[in-house]
Amino acid sequence: MAARLSVSLARGRGPAVLLLHGNSLAKETILPLTDALAERGATVVAPDLPGHGRSEDAANPEADYTLGGLAGTVLDLADRIGLSEFHVVGWSLGGNVALDLLALAPERVRSVAAIAAPPIRMSAASIEAAFLPSPAGRLVTLPTWSEADARAYLGGVFEPPLVAEFLPDALRADGRCRTVSLFTAFAGAGTDQVDLVARSRRPLALLVGERDPLVSRDYLAALPCARLWRGAVSVIPRAGHAPQWDAPRATRESVLAFLADSDPAFRRL
């Protein structure tokens, strides 16, 4: 039985957008984008992924916490809500889940915006090239966190006021999701996301903060992409790993512009 999910749903007159949050966090961490899209009139669906926020832990962690397993859970949610097609905006881990969702249901995913989420091959070499060495990055290999660990991870992602706000989410998260999603990828199990973006004709935006301490911009710039928005990685000035909080206006405008370029229905809202 699939985990029951906590979901924020705003039904608008416009196209549907799924918003997916990052590792060991919850849907509130993408609230600036959720609000912006809802205000624009989109139908916005923002779940807590299994093992996060107010959603249940996975019933079968070894399968359900892989990137493909998480993508399958999100697709099941779209089925239950009645979404035949949708755009996906994913931040950090959520961006990699979004890419697996594109691989799983290419006929239903209209576009993908991956924020601070480099497409990866399922190998240690690819993952190590995509991400910069950092204390926060090392913490995602741990199945359990102390409060000090959670604060250290959050401190590598957010400004201090948000560290306190999101600390309960980090401590609640099922640490098995961190380890299963990472180590199955290291072991070579799952979608080759580098190959996916090289051949997929669906619109793709890759957004990254100018000061992101976790993601390699050189790696992103070297990726061959069949349909990359505006032909280049979108760098958000003066932003770190969470540009939706560090530079909310620039991030919001970039995401809205990408969606408008990808789907004429957004231009009519």
pLDDT tens per residue across span 213-235: 999 999 999 999 999 999 999 99
pLDDT of residue 3: 84
Instruction: Flag whether pLDDT at 267 surpasses 70.
Output: yes
E-assigned strand segments in 7-128: 7-10, 16-20, 43-47, 86-91, 109-115
Tokens representing 192?
């080759």
Mean pLDDT across 231-244: 98
Sheet of 204-209: strand order equals 7-10, 43-47, 16-20, 86-91, 109-115, 204-209, 234-236
What does the pLDDT look like over 121-142, one tens digit per residue?
A: 999 999 999 999 998 889 998 9
CB 102 within 8 Å of CB 109: yes
Say whether pLDDT at 2 is over 80.
no
CATH of domain 7-267: 3.40.50.1820
Is the pLDDT reported for residue 1 higher than 70? no
Instruction: Indicate if the pLDDT at residue 111 is higher than 80.
Output: yes
Where exactly are the structural domains of the chain?
7-267
Which amino acid makes up residue 15?
Answer: P
pLDDT averaged over the chain?
96
Buried b (16+ CB within 10 A) or exposed e, 209-235: beebbbbbbebbeebebeebbeeebbb
Rg (CA), the chain: 17
DSSP label at 29?
A: G
Q: What is the pLDDT of residue 188?
A: 86
